[in-house]
Each structure stands twice: as C-alpha cells, then as structure tokens.
C-alpha cells in the first residue's frame, strides 16, 4: 500500500506563514515527531551543510516566538526543546506529549531517534497516532484489535518507517526499537510481543534495533 495520500498532508504551512523557511519548517516537524528535542548539529545534518548562520537564525526564531526552550548540556552544548502548545497545534500534533520536559535518559533516546530518522530519509514516516491508524487499518487492513490501542492511542510511541523501495511491489515497513541503554533481552522481547499481531498481517516488515550503546 502507498501511504502517501494518508500522511503527506502539508504540516509546514502554518509554520511558513509565521516566518519559518521551508527547510526550517520541515526540520521542525521531523524533530517534533522524533521527540521534541534536537541539537544544532541535527539541523546541519538535515541541510547537509557545515556550521553556518542557518542554525543560529533558526534558534533566534524559535526563542523569539517562544516555541522552544534551550538548555545547556554537557560541554555547554545547547539542547533545544520544542515545548509550545501552539507549535504542536500548528503541525496537527496538538495531542503530542513531546512538549513536556523529559528526564535525561528519555531525552537521549529522543535524540537518538532523530539521528536515526535523519539517516533514513526517503520513505514515509509514521509517528502520530492518526497516521499509524490510517495506514495500518485503512491501507494494510489490519484489524483494529491488533493495533494495541488505548483510548485510540498507540501504546508504543516509537517511529515507524514505510520504505519508498519495495520488495515484490510491497513497501517494507520498519518498526524501530530505540534504546539509549545497553541491550536488554527482556525489553527487546517485550517490544517484539507488543507488535506480533500487527506483523502477522503484513507482508514485508523488519525490526530495526537502534542504540548508541554496546
């Protein structure tokens, strides 16, 4: 199934009308979906450039509009958090919990998620509950009881990538298990069990384990 009609809605329009460039708006939507946190380096990676004034301009806009807060991390590295309720409302993610401040371990996992998404662009990204439900229930014909929903929200908050390339004309769906801690078999098995009913309904799928620890 082709997810593009379902999830390719223009979520950047309101941001561009409020002074953000197309690149800035697209990056901010991705960062918000990945967890709401990012570093200047992430924006440079998104644009494929070295250090320029571009990330400073983006930071100035975010802070002047009150759309983000900035914290100093280790070695005085600036950590940006998209924390404005207005911001998430404009990108059709007003139910997102990513605007809430998280503990250090959760922030690391969100930054790692953004690293992964930036390295794997080219397909379609399912992050919101609406996009996931539309794709699996409408396009993949997965029965709703198999989706592991609670109050119409996915229990698992990890991103799902639908590849632009296909195997036997079927899009490969990548389920991401992102961990900022050393590998734990029990947590991995739990992730596997939560998704087993969805996977049984899909033709081409894979599980990607993402970590920055050995």
Q: What is the pLDDT of residues 16-55, one digit of tens each?
A: 998 999 999 999 999 998 899 999 999 999 999 888 899 9
Q: Cα–Cα distance between 88 and 15 in angstroms, integer?
A: 10
pLDDT at 204 (0 to 100): 85
Burial class (CB in 10 A: 0-12, 13-18, 19+), 102: middle
Q: Cα–Cα distance between 111 and 113 in angstroms, integer?
A: 5
Report the percentage of the chain scoring pLDDT > 70: 92
Q: Cα–Cα distance between 143 and 162 in angstroms, integer?
A: 19
DSSP codes joined into one string, 142-210: --GGGG-EETTEES----EEEEEEEETTEEEEEEEEEESS---HHHHHHHHHHHHHHHHT-SSEEEEEE
Residue-wise pLDDT for 49-103, tens only, equals 888 899 999 999 999 999 999 998 777 899 999 999 999 988 888 778 888 999 8
Residue-wise pLDDT for 161-209, tens only, equals 887 655 555 688 989 888 877 788 888 888 888 888 888 888 888 888 8
Q: Cα–Cα distance between 140 and 133 in angstroms, integer?
A: 10
């Amino acid at each position: 199934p082709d997810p593009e009609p379902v999830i390719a809605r223009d979520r950047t329009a309101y941001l561009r009308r409020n002074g953000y460039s197309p690149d800035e708006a697209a990056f901010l939507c991705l960062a918000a979906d990945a967890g709401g946190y990012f570093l200047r380096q992430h924006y440079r990676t998104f644009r494929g450039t070295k250090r320029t004034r571009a990330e400073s301009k983006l930071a100035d806009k975010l802070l002047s509009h009150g759309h983000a807060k900035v914290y100093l991390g280790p070695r005085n590295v600036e950590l940006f958090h998209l924390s404005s309720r207005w911001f998430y409302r404009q990108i059709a993610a007003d139910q997102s919990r990513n605007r809430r401040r998280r503990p250090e371990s959760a922030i690391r996992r969100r930054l790692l998620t953004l690293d992964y998404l930036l390295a794997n662009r080219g397909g379609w990204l399912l992050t919101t509950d609406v996009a996931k439900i539309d794709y699996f229930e409408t396009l993949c014909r997965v029965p709703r009881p198999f989706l592991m929903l609670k109050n119409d929200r996915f229990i698992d908050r990890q991103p799902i990538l639908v590849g632009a390339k296909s195997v036997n004309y079927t899009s490969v769906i990548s389920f991401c298990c992102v961990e900022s801690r050393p590998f734990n078999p029990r947590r991995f098995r739990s992730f596997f069990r939560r998704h087993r009913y969805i996977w049984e309904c899909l033709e081409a799928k894979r599980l990607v384990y993402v970590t920055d620890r050995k």
